[in-house]
Amino acid sequence: MGEHSWKIGNVEIANQVVIAPMAGISNIAFRHICKKFQAGLIYTEMVSDKALYYQNVKTLGMTQVDAIEHPLTMQIFGSDIETMVYAAKLLDTQTACDIIDINMGCPVNKVIKSGAGSALMLDENHAAAIVKAVVEAVRKPVTVKMRIGYDDYHLNGVSMAKKLEAAGASALAVHGRTRKQMYEGKADWNAVKAVKDAVSIPVMVNGDIKTPQDALAALKQTGCDAVMIGRGVLGDPWVIKQTVEYLETGKIPEEASMDEKFRLAREHASRLCDLKGEAVGMREMRGHAAWYVKGLHQSHRLKDALAHMNTYEDLETILNDYEKQEEIRIRNTEIGNI
């Protein structure tokens, strides 16, 4: 194992950069790109235990794993022990995932109302019972993604973490916000440090990690084993490789060029079309395309055009037109400066 590698159970992870599960985003096309940029560990988007229990075709399709993706964590959510055990067994025996994660951090109302996600932070004993039952039913390591508490009156990250470790969890990912904060306000890395100090299993720090410098600061402040990056990767998977390199060498790599961004946007679109068909794939690509072009000259006009594309050809046309306009603008600027 290298200096920056670490383990979850018997699964070796080459570096300290982990990609968070993001609903509607972390499909195989997106994960492929994250792996290409050297992510140490990738999570799938969360799947419902009930959907797996009732053999929902779309959900079963979400459990496919490509050989390039290892190590990969597949995440399930639910609150009923029987169906959670069924879903975990299915992932254990019928998918190629390496780790099974239980979501106890999702703050979305629909998930909370079913007693899953962050709602489990309000019932530590039931949360621990789910983990214990799943750990006993599967061979793969079981992890939990959680928050520092449900709200300011229930900052129970430490007691929750201790119970989950005792129940057999192999690692924890801790988002430094409460459920009530959703994704607002500032992530509290000190509260994540308190969790790390309270358990002996690996802990990943999550929340407000957008740059390589953020990653190093979070690791130093919390003593955690790895950083988990979510929204910071959208449209900027270069930040994965930059963070891996920065943590290993201390050198800050160069930013991605417009050409590189456009090349990757085209590849991402092509993968989404292969995965979901052109109509659905390109509709999903609208959001990703907007992230890829963020920060470019007059990007609002470009984003507006991309928001209305329906085909892969539309994407090509929009990007090609923009590239030509940029060439002219830069040439005119250079002439003006002579």
- pLDDT digits 0-9 by tens, 208-247: 999 999 999 999 999 999 999 998 899 889 999 999 999 9
Q: Any bridge partners for residue 205, and if so which?
A: 174, 227
- Above 80 in pLDDT, residue 138? yes
Q: Sorting pLDDT into bands at 50, 70 and 90, what band is 176? A: very high
Question: 3.30.365.10, 2.40.128.110, 3.20.20.70, 3.40.50.11720: which CATH number matches 6-249?
Answer: 3.20.20.70
Domain ranges of the chain: 6-249, 258-336
Return the pLDDT at 337. Answer: 58
Return the pLDDT at 3. Answer: 76
DSSP string, 6-38: EEETTEEESSSEEEPP-TTT-SHHHHHHHHHTT
Return the pLDDT at 63. Answer: 87
Going by the annotation, the residues of the binding site are 21-23, 75, 145, 175, 230-231
- Token pair, residue 58, equals 């779309």
Return the pLDDT at 183. Answer: 78
- 316, amino acid identity: E
pLDDT tens string 7-50: 999 999 999 999 999 988 998 999 999 999 999 999 999 999 99
- Above 70 in pLDDT, residue 2? no
* Average pLDDT in the chain: 92
Alpha-carbon span 251 to 294, nearest angstrom = 24
Alpha-carbon span 307 to 289, nearest angstrom = 8
Question: 1.10.1200, 1.10.8, 1.25.40, 1.20.120: which CATH number matches 258-336?
Answer: 1.10.1200
Going by the annotation, the residues of the binding site for FMN are 21-23, 75, 145, 175, 230-231
Return the pLDDT at 55. Answer: 87
Reduced to 3 states (helix: H, G, I; strand: E, B; else coil), residue 237 is coil
Taking Cα atoms as reference points, which of 128, 124, 118, 110 lies closest to residue 50? 110
Return the pLDDT at 185. Answer: 80
Cis peptide before 71 (omega within 30 of 0): yes
Return the pLDDT at 113. Answer: 92
Return the pLDDT at 336. Answer: 63
Alpha-carbon span 107 to 105, nearest angstrom = 6
- The residue that leads in pLDDT, 336 or 133, is 133
Mean pLDDT over residues 135-144, rounded? 98
- Above 70 in pLDDT, residue 1? no
Q: Which of 53-62, 92-101, 255-264 has the highest mean pLDDT?
A: 92-101
Cβ-based neighbours of 22, under 8 Å, separated by 6 or more? 45, 230, 231, 234
Alpha-carbon span 219 to 223, nearest angstrom = 5
Q: Is 245 exposed, middle or buried (0-12, 13-18, 19+ CB in 10 A)?
A: middle
Mean pLDDT over residues 306-321, rounded? 94
Return the pLDDT at 299. Answer: 87
- Above 80 in pLDDT, residue 338? no
Cis peptide before 253 (omega within 30 of 0): no
Catalytic site residue from 34, 97, 106, 273: 106
What's the pTM?
0.91
pLDDT tens string 67-108: 889 999 999 999 999 999 999 999 999 999 999 999 999 888
Are the C-beta atoms of residues 162 and 199 closer than 8 Å to each other? yes
Are the C-beta atoms of residues 68 and 37 closer than 8 Å to each other? no
Return the pLDDT at 297. Answer: 84
Is residue 34 annotated as a catalytic residue, yes or no?
no
Mean pLDDT over residues 44-66, rounded? 89
Return the pLDDT at 298. Answer: 82
- 3, amino acid identity: E
Residue 49 C-alpha from the chain's centroid: 19
Cβ-based neighbours of 57, under 8 Å, separated by 6 or more? none
Return the pLDDT at 156. Answer: 95
